[in-house]
Protein backbone atom coordinates (compact mmCIF):
# COMPACT_ATOMS: atom_id res chain seq x y z
CA UNK A 1 0.00 0.00 0.00
CA UNK A 2 1.38 3.41 -0.87
CA UNK A 3 1.69 6.08 1.76
CA UNK A 4 -0.90 8.18 -0.13
CA UNK A 5 -3.60 5.55 0.40
CA UNK A 6 -5.32 5.84 3.79
CA UNK A 7 -5.65 2.45 5.56
CA UNK A 8 -9.44 2.77 5.78
CA UNK A 9 -9.67 2.95 1.96
CA UNK A 10 -8.63 -0.69 1.64
CA UNK A 11 -11.08 -3.33 2.87
CA UNK A 12 -10.08 -6.70 4.28
CA UNK A 13 -9.59 -9.25 1.53
CA UNK A 14 -9.24 -6.65 -1.21
CA UNK A 15 -5.98 -6.46 -3.10
CA UNK A 16 -4.28 -3.15 -2.28
CA UNK A 17 -3.55 -0.60 -4.99
CA UNK A 18 -0.23 -1.26 -6.68
CA UNK A 19 2.81 0.97 -6.35
CA UNK A 20 2.16 2.25 -9.87
CA UNK A 21 -1.42 3.27 -9.23
CA UNK A 22 -4.72 1.46 -9.65
CA UNK A 23 -5.16 -2.26 -9.45
CA UNK A 24 -4.16 -4.05 -12.65
CA UNK A 25 -6.11 -7.01 -13.98
CA UNK A 26 -3.25 -9.56 -13.96
CA UNK A 27 -2.46 -8.91 -10.31
CA UNK A 28 -6.16 -8.97 -9.41
CA UNK A 29 -6.55 -12.40 -11.03
CA UNK A 30 -3.41 -13.73 -9.32
CA UNK A 31 -4.62 -12.58 -5.91
CA UNK A 32 -8.28 -13.60 -6.20
CA UNK A 33 -8.17 -16.77 -8.31
CA UNK A 34 -7.71 -19.31 -5.47
CA UNK A 35 -10.69 -18.02 -3.48
CA UNK A 36 -12.98 -17.55 -6.49
CA UNK A 37 -12.07 -21.01 -7.79
CA UNK A 38 -12.79 -22.56 -4.38
CA UNK A 39 -16.21 -20.90 -4.36
CA UNK A 40 -16.83 -22.11 -7.91
CA UNK A 41 -15.89 -25.70 -6.94
CA UNK A 42 -18.32 -25.59 -4.05
CA UNK A 43 -21.08 -24.22 -6.27
CA UNK A 44 -20.49 -26.57 -9.22
CA UNK A 45 -19.37 -29.67 -7.36
CA UNK A 46 -16.83 -30.37 -10.11
CA UNK A 47 -13.32 -28.97 -10.60
CA UNK A 48 -13.59 -28.81 -14.39
CA UNK A 49 -16.91 -27.00 -14.39
CA UNK A 50 -15.53 -24.70 -11.69
CA UNK A 51 -12.53 -23.86 -13.88
CA UNK A 52 -14.91 -22.99 -16.73
CA UNK A 53 -17.05 -20.88 -14.40
CA UNK A 54 -14.01 -19.06 -13.01
CA UNK A 55 -12.66 -18.40 -16.50
CA UNK A 56 -16.05 -17.11 -17.69
CA UNK A 57 -16.21 -14.85 -14.65
CA UNK A 58 -12.76 -13.39 -15.34
CA UNK A 59 -13.66 -12.87 -19.00
CA UNK A 60 -16.72 -10.86 -17.93
CA UNK A 61 -14.64 -8.90 -15.42
CA UNK A 62 -11.99 -8.15 -18.03
CA UNK A 63 -14.58 -6.74 -20.43
CA UNK A 64 -15.77 -4.38 -17.65
CA UNK A 65 -12.40 -3.87 -15.97
CA UNK A 66 -12.65 -0.08 -15.70
CA UNK A 67 -15.92 -0.43 -13.73
CA UNK A 68 -14.53 -3.27 -11.60
CA UNK A 69 -11.35 -1.35 -10.79
CA UNK A 70 -13.36 1.77 -9.91
CA UNK A 71 -15.74 -0.12 -7.61
CA UNK A 72 -15.34 0.18 -3.85
CA UNK A 73 -14.86 -3.58 -3.50
CA UNK A 74 -13.55 -5.36 -6.63
CA UNK A 75 -13.51 -8.75 -4.84
CA UNK A 76 -17.23 -8.49 -4.02
CA UNK A 77 -17.88 -7.41 -7.62
CA UNK A 78 -16.05 -10.55 -8.81
CA UNK A 79 -17.92 -12.83 -6.37
CA UNK A 80 -21.26 -11.35 -7.46
CA UNK A 81 -20.34 -11.93 -11.11
CA UNK A 82 -19.34 -15.54 -10.31
CA UNK A 83 -22.59 -16.29 -8.47
CA UNK A 84 -24.81 -14.68 -11.10
CA UNK A 85 -22.96 -16.48 -13.89
CA UNK A 86 -23.39 -19.80 -12.05
CA UNK A 87 -27.10 -19.27 -11.50
CA UNK A 88 -27.57 -18.12 -15.09
CA UNK A 89 -25.81 -21.22 -16.44
CA UNK A 90 -27.91 -23.45 -14.17
CA UNK A 91 -31.12 -21.95 -15.51
CA UNK A 92 -30.18 -23.05 -19.00
CA UNK A 93 -31.05 -26.72 -19.08
CA UNK A 94 -29.27 -27.64 -22.28
CA UNK A 95 -25.55 -28.06 -22.55
CA UNK A 96 -23.29 -28.99 -25.45
CA UNK A 97 -20.96 -30.89 -23.13
CA UNK A 98 -21.71 -34.43 -22.03
CA UNK A 99 -19.84 -36.26 -19.28
CA UNK A 100 -17.81 -39.33 -20.20
CA UNK A 101 -18.94 -42.75 -19.03
CA UNK A 102 -15.54 -43.64 -17.59
CA UNK A 103 -12.40 -41.67 -16.84
CA UNK A 104 -9.30 -43.57 -15.78
CA UNK A 105 -8.11 -41.17 -13.07
CA UNK A 106 -6.72 -42.44 -9.81
CA UNK A 107 -6.78 -40.21 -6.77
CA UNK A 108 -4.88 -40.53 -3.53
CA UNK A 109 -7.27 -41.18 -0.68
CA UNK A 110 -6.99 -39.34 2.62
CA UNK A 111 -9.32 -39.78 5.60
CA UNK A 112 -11.51 -36.79 4.75
CA UNK A 113 -11.78 -37.46 1.00
CA UNK A 114 -14.87 -39.64 1.32
CA UNK A 115 -16.64 -37.10 3.53
CA UNK A 116 -15.77 -34.22 1.18
CA UNK A 117 -17.02 -36.19 -1.80
CA UNK A 118 -20.21 -37.05 0.08
CA UNK A 119 -20.68 -33.36 0.89
CA UNK A 120 -20.15 -32.34 -2.73
CA UNK A 121 -22.65 -34.99 -3.81
CA UNK A 122 -25.16 -33.80 -1.20
CA UNK A 123 -24.69 -30.18 -2.30
CA UNK A 124 -25.23 -31.24 -5.92
CA UNK A 125 -28.64 -32.66 -4.97
CA UNK A 126 -29.80 -29.24 -3.77
CA UNK A 127 -31.25 -26.66 -6.13
CA UNK A 128 -28.68 -24.21 -7.50
CA UNK A 129 -30.13 -21.40 -5.38
CA UNK A 130 -30.12 -23.46 -2.16
CA UNK A 131 -26.55 -24.61 -2.88
CA UNK A 132 -25.52 -20.99 -3.48
CA UNK A 133 -27.15 -19.92 -0.20
CA UNK A 134 -25.22 -22.53 1.78
CA UNK A 135 -21.89 -21.88 0.05
CA UNK A 136 -22.11 -18.12 0.53
CA UNK A 137 -23.45 -18.22 4.11
CA UNK A 138 -21.44 -21.03 5.67
CA UNK A 139 -18.39 -21.56 3.48
CA UNK A 140 -17.75 -17.99 2.31
CA UNK A 141 -18.95 -16.71 5.71
CA UNK A 142 -21.11 -13.89 4.32
CA UNK A 143 -23.79 -12.38 6.54
CA UNK A 144 -27.50 -12.94 5.96
CA UNK A 145 -27.81 -9.38 4.67
CA UNK A 146 -24.85 -9.71 2.29
CA UNK A 147 -26.06 -13.05 0.92
CA UNK A 148 -29.66 -11.85 0.51
CA UNK A 149 -28.47 -8.73 -1.30
CA UNK A 150 -26.17 -10.74 -3.56
CA UNK A 151 -28.98 -13.16 -4.50
CA UNK A 152 -31.65 -10.46 -4.74
CA UNK A 153 -33.96 -12.05 -2.15
CA UNK A 154 -35.26 -10.87 1.22
CA UNK A 155 -33.51 -11.83 4.45
CA UNK A 156 -36.48 -13.91 5.76
CA UNK A 157 -36.57 -15.81 2.44
CA UNK A 158 -32.84 -16.44 2.70
CA UNK A 159 -33.14 -17.73 6.27
CA UNK A 160 -36.00 -20.05 5.27
CA UNK A 161 -34.08 -21.41 2.25
CA UNK A 162 -30.98 -21.85 4.37
CA UNK A 163 -32.88 -23.70 7.09
CA UNK A 164 -34.55 -26.06 4.61
CA UNK A 165 -31.27 -26.71 2.76
CA UNK A 166 -29.40 -27.48 5.99
CA UNK A 167 -32.24 -29.82 7.04
CA UNK A 168 -31.87 -31.70 3.73
CA UNK A 169 -28.12 -31.98 4.26
CA UNK A 170 -28.68 -33.31 7.78
CA UNK A 171 -30.52 -36.31 6.35
CA UNK A 172 -27.16 -37.37 4.85
CA UNK A 173 -24.97 -35.95 7.64
CA UNK A 174 -26.78 -36.39 10.98
CA UNK A 175 -23.71 -35.18 12.90
CA UNK A 176 -23.69 -31.85 11.04
CA UNK A 177 -23.19 -28.96 13.46
CA UNK A 178 -25.83 -26.29 13.84
CA UNK A 179 -24.63 -23.37 11.66
CA UNK A 180 -26.30 -20.78 13.92
Going by C-beta distance under 8 Å and a sequence separation of 6 or more, which residues neighbour residue 22? Answer: 69
Structure confidence at residue 174 (pLDDT): 76
Structure confidence at residue 33 (pLDDT): 94
Q: pTM here? A: 0.55
Provide the residue-wise pLDDT of the chain in tens; the chain has 180 residues. 444 443 434 444 444 444 444 578 999 999 999 999 999 998 888 889 999 999 999 999 999 999 998 999 999 999 999 999 998 887 765 555 566 676 666 655 566 777 777 888 888 888 888 989 988 898 888 899 999 998 899 999 999 999 999 888 888 877 766 655
Rounded distance between C-alpha atoms, residue 68 and residue 164, angstroms: 34
61, 68 contact by CB (below 8 A): yes
What domains are there in the chain, each with its CATH number?
22-92+114-172 (1.20.140.160)
Amino acid sequence: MTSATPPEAVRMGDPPPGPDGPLDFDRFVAETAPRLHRTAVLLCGDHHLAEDLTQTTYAKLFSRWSAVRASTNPVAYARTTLVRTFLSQRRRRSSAERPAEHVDDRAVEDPDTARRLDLLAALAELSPTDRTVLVLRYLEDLSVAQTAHLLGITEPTLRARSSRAVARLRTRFPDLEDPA
